[in-house]
Structure 1
Amino acid sequence: MTSSEFTADPAPARLTVGIVSAGRVGTALGEALERVGHLVVGCSAVSEDSRHRAATRLPDSQILPIDEVATRAELLVLSVPDYELASLASGLAATGVIAPGKLVVHTSGANGIGVLAPLTALGAIPLAIHPAMTFTGHSEDTDRLASACFGITASDEIGYAVAQALVLELGGEPVHVAEANRALYHAALAHGSNHLVTLIADAVDALRVALDGPGFPGIDPEPDIYAEPGSERIARSEPGNALAQRVLAPLVTAALENVLRSGQSALTGPVARGDLGAVRKHLEVLTAVDPRIAAGYRALSLRSAQRVDAGAELVEFLEGEQ
């Protein structure tokens, strides 16, 4: 084939992008879209933190009123809290700035495209694209998007094709979520991620108490006095939660990896063994630290016992008020 006969594949269409608003998710998505060649032409930002994020991470974007952001954008990203999304869609519809064919994406996990109905009625193409990722508000959020799955919902095959193309451009994996299943999809993600944070925070609090006290016999417990480099000596009086976190980290990391790989069979410990005595003792000592931690332990132990069909005696104990 000669050079005159060769025709290169056309480059993906570059879009002008508007972000409403420059919160943690919106800023990360805007930054990720710019990395693959799209242009963020405007974003809304009200709080000082949002304006700082926009200025530092989307420096070529103008901070504008919402209606101006929508006017300038071919792809409008609505990245606001779930409870604000319906009113934002209605408000945008009332401004008359939504032209037919405009791509309108929201990042809510709990909502499908129904919440964008006022904009769809004006001819907009509604897309729900939710990154299944937690966001800190820092630049690493953008890097993490490349390894994330995105729950996508659209009104037709064309919409799904557009949503998939956007996600694949970012390096993510598009996952179809039916409109009727968005709330369940979001509940499952929240249960697995948000409650994991609470669980680990409770475990760290209890472990910190367990590790509190004098150091090892013959070892100076001062945290700023360490052995020679390479030594495995631990300063028992390490400040704050750092020591508890360091002790717990390898265990919970392995547990998470194991359950994602092997499912329920990864469960170990006293509930899996049906050890009522150990569970009873755990509840006793946890109650002494904080009855709320003990209540969480009891609830999760009961659910674990149900999943592994533990003995009736253990289940009855956990269901009781002992």
Structure 2
Amino acid sequence: MNPPHDRDGRLGVGIIGAGHVGPVLGAALAGAGHALVGIAAISEASRERAHTMLPGVPIMEVPRLIELSELVLIAIPDAELPNLIEGLARAGAWQPGQIVAHTSAKYGTGVLAPAVAAGVIPVALHPAMSFTGTSIDLARLNECYIAVTAPTPVLPIAQALAVEMGGEPVVIAESKRSDYAEAIATASQFSAAVVEQSTAILAGIGIDRPGRILAPLIRSAVDNALTARGDISGLPFRELDGDLSS
């Protein structure tokens, strides 16, 4: 495995996880010129999603996928991440010099410690958006901020990957990752609850497809609230050290 500075910028990418996130980010990286060597998918639904989003990309077992990849992108549920990293380390799967990136909001690079001990380059990349697992998400990535956590020497690599995915990198310190995750979860859960309650009320008074009525209102209300807090657009590579609105 060649060190990052010896590469021409085109990486062989393996994706672990074919839920809503992994195939979309894989497609984004492929669009940026990287080569997808394979994807690990377990369920029938995830296999279908992988075939739809990444036609021609082979579905592989995880150990073989890691063996062939210069960049391993892990997009699995938070609860599964630590055991996966540690289990693959015990199996001797990780390769010195390869980049290992996960997409969890909850964790920084600390969760990758067992892989780092084997010589990998650790990166945490979390796109701050809700994924559908379809091509719609590729356009939405262009309006998305991606939380980046990595050791200082690796930050340029992590930021470049975020840009190649289509997003705007925002550096989150390792010590602030849990705060970031809390903010993301709060916004997501609140939004889902508000939409569910409002659409149920409108449906109850006989309005057909209430979401079409609420969509412009919710978007404008959120835009207005964020503007009142201070617009942070146009400020690339910002480092957030606590207050996510600063």
Shift of 1:59: 2.0
Q: Confirm whether residue 68 of structure 1 aligns to residue 34 of structure 2.
A: no
Shift of 1:141: 1.4
Question: In 2, Cα distance between the equivalents of 1:79 and 1:254?
Answer: 31
Q: Confirm whether residue 206 of structure 1 aligns to residue 187 of structure 2.
A: no
Partner residue, 2:141: 145
Question: In 2, Cα distance between the equivalents of 1:105 and 1:129?
Answer: 7
Partner residue, 2:44: 48
Partner residue, 1:170: 165
Unaligned 5+ runs, structure 1: 1-10, 213-237, 265-322
Question: In 1, Cα distance between the equivalents of 2:94 and 2:212?
Answer: 52
Which residue of 103, 106, 111 corresponds with 1:107? 103
Partner residue, 2:183: 188
Q: 1:224-260: per-residue Cα shift (whole Å, max 9, x none)? A: xxxxxxxxxxxxxx54xx1x33443333232112111
Partner SS state of residue 169, structure 2: strand
Partner SS state of residue 95, structure 2: coil
The structure number with the bigger radius of gyration is: 1
Partner SS state of residue 21, structure 2: helix
Which residue of 259, 272, 275 corresponds with 2:225? 259
Q: 1:242-285: per-residue Cα shift (whole Å, max 9, x none)? A: 1x334433332321121111239xxxxxxxxxxxxxxxxxxxxx
Checking the alignment, whether the CA contact within 8 Å between 1:153 and 1:177 is kept in structure 2 is yes
Which residue of 211, 225, 250 corresponds with 2:216? 250
Unaligned 5+ runs, structure 2: 1-6, 231-246
Q: TM-score, normalised by structure 2?
A: 0.86
Checking the alignment, whether the CA contact within 8 Å between 1:19 and 1:43 is kept in structure 2 is yes
Shift of 1:12: 5.3
Checking the alignment, whether the CA contact within 8 Å between 1:126 and 1:154 is kept in structure 2 is yes
Partner residue, 1:98: 94
Q: Note the 1:11-22 alignment, pairs <5 A.
A: 13-22=9-18
Q: Which has the higher helix share?
A: 1
Q: 1:102-137: per-residue Cα shift (whole Å, max 9, x none)? A: 100000000011111000001100100111111112
Among all aligned residue pairs of Structure 1 and Structure 2, give the percentage whose two residues are the same amino acid.
42
Checking the alignment, whether the CA contact within 8 Å between 1:129 and 1:163 is kept in structure 2 is yes
Q: 1:22 to 1:247 in 2, by over 3 A?
A: closer
> 2:109 is aligned with what amino acid?
I
Q: 1:115 to 1:248 in 2, by over 3 A?
A: same
Question: In 1, Cα distance between the equivalents of 2:72 and 2:55?
Answer: 18
Partner SS state of residue 166, structure 2: coil
Checking the alignment, whether the CA contact within 8 Å between 1:14 and 1:38 is kept in structure 2 is yes
Q: TM-score, normalised by structure 1?
A: 0.66
Which residue of 21, 34, 50 corresponds with 1:38? 34
Q: 1:246 to 1:37 in 2, by over 3 A?
A: closer
Question: In 2, Cα distance between the equivalents of 1:134 and 1:202?
Answer: 19
> 1:248 is aligned with what amino acid?
L
Shift of 1:142: 2.1
> 1:207 is aligned with what amino acid?
L
For CA contacts below 8 A with separation 6 or more, give which structure has more relative contact order: 2
Checking the alignment, whether the CA contact within 8 Å between 1:41 and 1:60 is kept in structure 2 is no
Alignment RMSD, CA only?
Answer: 1.7
Partner SS state of residue 97, structure 1: coil
Question: In 2, Cα distance between the equivalents of 1:99 and 1:251?
Answer: 50
Q: 1:266-311: per-residue Cα shift (whole Å, max 9, x none)? A: xxxxxxxxxxxxxxxxxxxxxxxxxxxxxxxxxxxxxxxxxxxxxx
Checking the alignment, whether the CA contact within 8 Å between 1:40 and 1:60 is kept in structure 2 is no
Q: Note the 1:223-238 alignment, pairs <5 A.
A: none
> 1:76 is aligned with what amino acid?
V
> 1:33 is aligned with what amino acid?
L
Question: In 2, Cα distance between the equivalents of 1:177 and 1:83?
Answer: 21
Q: 1:25 to 1:250 in 2, by over 3 A?
A: closer
Q: Confirm whether residue 128 of structure 1 aligns to residue 115 of structure 2.
A: no
Question: In 2, Cα distance between the equivalents of 1:20 and 1:252?
Answer: 34
Most deviating of 60-69 and 81-90: 60-69
